[in-house]
Chain A
């Protein structure tokens, strides 16, 4: 009788504590939640670059993809673009592709930016922020490293140094 009561109480308390703990944990984590986490399959997308070529992520299976989100107005983006361009030339023959996605800007602004920084990799505009939404991005620049199987190996936000860019591309080399 006494034992049964103790078990009952323990079970009820355990349920209550678990519920509270979960709530506190979820409340704490809601600010840190990531939509596309490391190890996930990278969401597929298709966009047209400034030359009119279509790029579909899944077509790059077998290669590593360095996926960069940016805007012409964002200062750290301006800084890291030349580094990415340099490393792109180093790695493009080793099976690493750079796809760079501008968020919802005018073609004029993007074209002028490409011309100014002499970018050679494909640049696309995410006119409806669909890809941005799919990747759950709220800060620019954001970079996703996707391996040859289409899995996210790493994601990072904020400015990158040239060394970091090199290291990242090394990581996804097939």
Chain B
């Protein structure tokens, strides 16, 4: 565990392959190679040097890129599994029913394995979390030594280092003038040129080496933002249904915001008006052009406890459309769906034989009255109201819910000639007369409907963290991908001038740049040792 002192005088941490300062090979193994492995500048990655305690072992596990790649691959395969069948948020039946009904035994198995909620499962979260841990540790373990090595590098490099660069060439008979020209040209090409004892080190784009670490930091912040969602209060995601004309409390706003829905609008494309779309519309049928709710947002003023009528102050009128949510104080209200609900039913009280009408009544299905007086001694009383009618198991009429999906009534119809009244059960397309033949009948006349707008209420305080993470990631990726770290060494060795060059990628660009720099000088183009090494197998 001792640090290694190189012959150039620089002290390197234990495990260093190439001296940080002069590039001399410190690891015997590396000497056998014809070309150097320049990853991380041959610096000592800490993980590989200490593995004494459990902590070190865990650390080393996550520090391995191999482990990182495996985690990515496993996540990738797991993600594929989740796309085979729809996830639970995209189905409209209870999952225990849906999967078996739609996909048979395979669906049942899929559900039993928990793949219906794969992306919310603990093990998928754990995979993502492990990628996060791997990101942190891999980056920490590499960026520090890399930074140190790049900072410690000296201009004059060891012979062994230069010889084993992929681009390398030796020139004899060089005059200083040419070297000066080269130096000028390198500067023109935005190289940062350092000089030491007549040796040159030209370097540019070093910051691209930090790209991967910047993007990893971005990803970590992104994942952290995703994690924040689990903190109570940071993330609100609620559904809100508001009937036309009604005002509802917006959930999770601390009983602060109220939304009034004035009108729901549904528009379709018109074949006649949009000639361009005529053919497509003929093929596809009706295509929706717009979903819109005209709403008014209110804010409560003063204190109130639930159940009390709130004092409301208008905040704003807004037309909520898809892609145009209403936003206020961090809350966003999105148009997410709609449904049409039965609102009223109209009947005629008629004499079954003569079909003479004795008056009309409209029943508000949200709030029916007990008795409707039609005048002249005719009246109708509601004995029973079933908004969502069905026959219960014991055969009694009952209601499934409070929503008027299938309203039914038991009426008592009173007329001058029937002072006691006649009882009739009336449902949609169905009339039952439990006590025999009636004289009168409630004849169905029509229904009124009302639209109900479905909104999604969203607050996401973690969004800005995610945005910062995303931006940082993009900066890092671009920094790492669109810039190259190039270094060119021009050095005097044994009375010759050696040229060596290295880049982290885009060798072709580097070679062309060197060609340009050395043009019309005595200095010959260095060779690409990799290319001469792997000449084509077949022999051109």
Whether chain B is bound by chain A comes out as yes
Tally chain A residues at the interface, Cβ within 8 Å: 45
Query: Known: A2-B1, A46-B307, A73-B401. Contact between A24 and B249, CB under 8 A?
Result: no
Q: Name the B residues within 8 Å of A133 (CB-CB).
A: 249, 251, 255, 306
Binds B, one of A14-22, A79-87, A150-158, A161-169: A14-22
Is residue B231 contacting chain A, with contact meaning CB distance below 8 A?
A: yes
How far, in angstroms, from A19 to B136 measured CA to CA in the complex? Answer: 13
Binds A, one of B70-78, B125-133, B353-361, B475-483: B125-133
Query: Known: A20-B126, A23-B129. Contact between A9 and B255, CB under 8 A?
Result: no
How far, in angstroms, from A87 to B347 measured CA to CA in the complex? Answer: 43
Is residue A120 contacting chain B, with contact meaning CB distance below 8 A?
A: no
Is residue A10 contacting chain B, with contact meaning CB distance below 8 A?
A: yes
Partner of A12 from the list B53, B126, B136, B387 (CB cut-off 8 Å) is: B136
Partner of B140 from the list A12, A22, A43 (CB cut-off 8 Å) is: A12
Binds B, one of A60-68, A88-96, A107-115, A141-149: A107-115
Name the distance in Å between B196's Cβ and chain A's nearest Cβ.
31
How far, in angstroms, from A145 to B387 measured CA to CA in the complex? Answer: 31
Is residue A160 contacting chain B, with contact meaning CB distance below 8 A?
A: no
Q: Name the A residues within 8 Å of B125 (CB-CB).
A: 23-24, 27
Q: Name the A residues within 8 Å of B382 (CB-CB).
A: 108
Binds A, one of B27-35, B91-99, B362-370, B488-496: B362-370
Q: Do A16 and B1 touch (CB < 8 A)?
A: no
Which residue of chain B is the closest to A133 with respect to CB atoms? Answer: B251
Q: Do B402 and A105 touch (CB < 8 A)?
A: yes
Name the distance in Å between A70's Cβ and chain B's nearest Cβ.
11
Q: Name the A residues within 8 Å of B232 (CB-CB).
A: 33
Main secondary structure of the interface of A (DSSP, over half): helix
Q: Name the A residues within 8 Å of B137 (CB-CB).
A: 12
Q: Do B367 and A130 touch (CB < 8 A)?
A: no
Q: Name the A residues within 8 Å of B398 (CB-CB).
A: 73, 75
Is residue A123 contacting chain B, with contact meaning CB distance below 8 A?
A: no
Q: Do A47 and B307 touch (CB < 8 A)?
A: yes
Restricting to B163-183, which residues have a CB under 8 Å from any CB of A?
Answer: none
How far, in angstroms, from A5 to B400 measured CA to CA in the complex? Answer: 66
The 10 closest A-B pairs by CB, nearest first: A26-B230, A130-B306, A20-B129, A45-B306, A47-B307, A73-B399, A45-B307, A134-B306, A46-B307, A44-B305
Q: Please report B residues at the A interface, Cβ cutoff 8 Å.
A: 1, 46, 50, 53, 55-56, 58-59, 120, 122, 125-126, 129, 132-133, 136-137, 140, 224, 227, 230-232, 248-249, 251, 255, 305-308, 366-370, 382-385, 387-388, 392, 398-402
5 extra A-B contacts, CB within 8 A, seeds A5-B50, A6-B53, A45-B307: A9-B56, A20-B132, A24-B122, A73-B400, A134-B255
A sample of 14 inter-chain contacts (CB < 8 A) reads A6-B53, A9-B59, A12-B140, A16-B132, A20-B126, A27-B122, A27-B230, A46-B307, A72-B399, A72-B402, A73-B400, A73-B401, A106-B368, A112-B385
